[in-house]
Amino acid sequence: MQTNFTEDQLKDKDNKSSEKIFRACVHCGFCNATCPSYKILNHELDGPRGRIYLIKDMLENNKPADAKITKHIDQCLSCYGCMTTCPSGVNYMHLIDHGRKHIEKTYTRPISQRIVRNILSKILTDHKLFKFLGVLGQIIKPFRIFLPKKLKNILNVLPSRFPKKTMPLKKIYSPKGKKIVARVALLTGCVQKVLSPQINESTIRLLNRHGVEVVVPESINCCGSLEHHLGKETESLKNFKQNIDVWYNEYLNNGLDAIISNTSGCGTTLKDYGFIFRDDTNYRKKAKKISQLSKDITEYLSENIKLNFNNKNKFKKFKIAYHSACSMQHGQKVHDDPINLIKKTGNDVINIPEGHLCCGSAGTYNLLQSEIANQLLKNKIENIQKINPEIISTGNIGCISQISSATSIPILHTVEILDWYTGGPKPKVLERI
């Protein structure tokens, strides 16, 4: 794709990076064939190729975003399926992030949108506030008929009750009676630690059981991903820098072999810290190191730990459908590791038809673009039902929440299965089967 940026425009680091990405695009349109929003809306501007044109036009012409451009960019899920399909290696992730930042800076959204987006950026990045509003939401729910549609959607996803933690909160979880073979930091997530604390507990038990010491720094709260994808640069950079400082100091002072994420959306962002701070003299080196250390839990286990599956013959053999979260298979390019690990438990792993397509969760997408998200969820459930699994497994809390809202089939995080089959407790969601 030919570009026409001026020399002055290319002094801006984001323009400079985006210009190189634009030039890699050859207009082939392969991306549209695997774009979930394009398949539903069937509009050129709701596919990656069309959105690339919109972003290029805004940036080259110093053009502020308008309602039309904003609508088409907002309808992108950031599933990155287009990046897996693209034969030219176009880094659409960085383009769409740049486009969203430009929109946030140059377009004044209607007041209702601003309120909802600000609410989401506050409550979904603060686990204490999220839990408080979950309780408050139950009081407000009878009156939700009077609320705007998007606020109703937020209320609908707030749980009526929260599961209890079964492990004490610590800064360091050390293996008992075992030699320490590695030391890792665990990102416990914002909402995940409230909605599904058993995911973090399974991760810690599994790692400890295999001689890995786990550090959970108290000052790490949010990875910054949610605000980053909402175009809120100031807020996301604040989180990024705090995380980088904490983890890098831990790495220098006490040693870290990896930074573990068990939420694939967060993991994708952690691995992108190096790019985000590529021109920041204060954070470039530190951010690059944090990205290098960042691993999805299944990626780390596959590369570093030989799991002990001595318990696998004690259990019934299940038919498990593995849902590969978009941020995992397209964002991090981690697809085979979780599947191969589940297979080692002795269970049957079956592919979901059209498994490359998003379930509709996509961070805040199911709240902000509920009609498209609901259609994607409907399609995902229909494809899951075609293979009639006994259990669904995935590596992302957003996908777990989205899919479980539309099916009675038990759904587990992959690490819960691995924990169970290496000596951990049977997941509660499986008690009825």
Last residue of a domain, one of 93, 127, 157: 157
Q: Spell out the per-residue pLDDT of the chain, length 433, in tens.
A: 999 999 999 999 999 999 999 999 999 999 999 999 999 999 999 999 999 999 999 999 999 999 999 999 999 999 999 999 999 999 999 999 999 999 999 999 999 899 889 988 888 888 888 877 777 767 776 766 666 776 666 666 666 677 777 787 889 999 998 899 999 999 998 888 888 999 999 999 999 999 999 999 988 878 999 999 999 999 999 999 999 999 999 999 999 999 999 999 999 999 999 999 999 999 999 999 999 999 999 999 999 999 999 776 678 889 999 999 999 999 999 999 999 999 999 999 999 999 999 999 999 999 999 999 999 999 999 999 999 999 999 999 999 999 999 999 999 999 999 999 999 999 999 987 7
CATH of the domain at 330: 3.40.50.1860
Same domain, 426 and 320: yes
Q: Looking at residue 156, what is its pLDDT? A: 66
Residue 298 included in any domain? no
State the total domains in the chain: 3
415 shares its domain with 319? yes
Query: What's this model's pTM, rounded to 2 decimal places?
Result: 0.92
On whether residue 247 sits in a domain, the answer given is no
189, part of any domain: no
380 and 419 belong to one structural domain: yes
Do 116 and 31 reside in the same domain of the chain?
no
Long-range contact pairs involving 113-119 (C-beta distance under 8 Å, separation at least 24):
116/148, 116/150, 116/151, 116/154, 116/367, 116/368, 117/230, 117/364, 117/368, 119/151, 119/154
- Asked if residues 325 and 399 have their Cβ atoms less than 8 Å apart, the reply is yes
Please give the residue range of the domain that contains residue 340: 310-430
Question: What pLDDT score does 49 carry?
Answer: 96
For residue 135, the model assigns a pLDDT of: 74
Residue 283 lies in a domain: no
Q: What is the pLDDT of residue 144?
A: 66
Q: Is 133 in the same domain as 95?
A: no
Whether residue 25 is found in the same domain as residue 126: no
Classify residue 422: in a domain, yes or no. Answer: yes
Instruction: Please tell me the distance from the alpha carbon of residue 298 to that of residue 317, in angstroms, as a whole number.
Output: 21
pLDDT value of position 296? 97
Whether the CB-CB separation of 421 and 309 falls below 8 Å is answered with yes
Question: Do 35 and 136 belong to one domain?
Answer: no
What pLDDT is attached to residue 90? 96
Q: Does some domain include residue 260?
A: no
The CATH number covering residue 100 comes to 1.10.1060.10
The pLDDT assigned to 327 comes to 96
Residue 281 covered by a domain: no
Tokens of 124: 């979904």
Are residues 131 and 75 part of one domain?
no
Is residue 47 assigned to a domain? yes
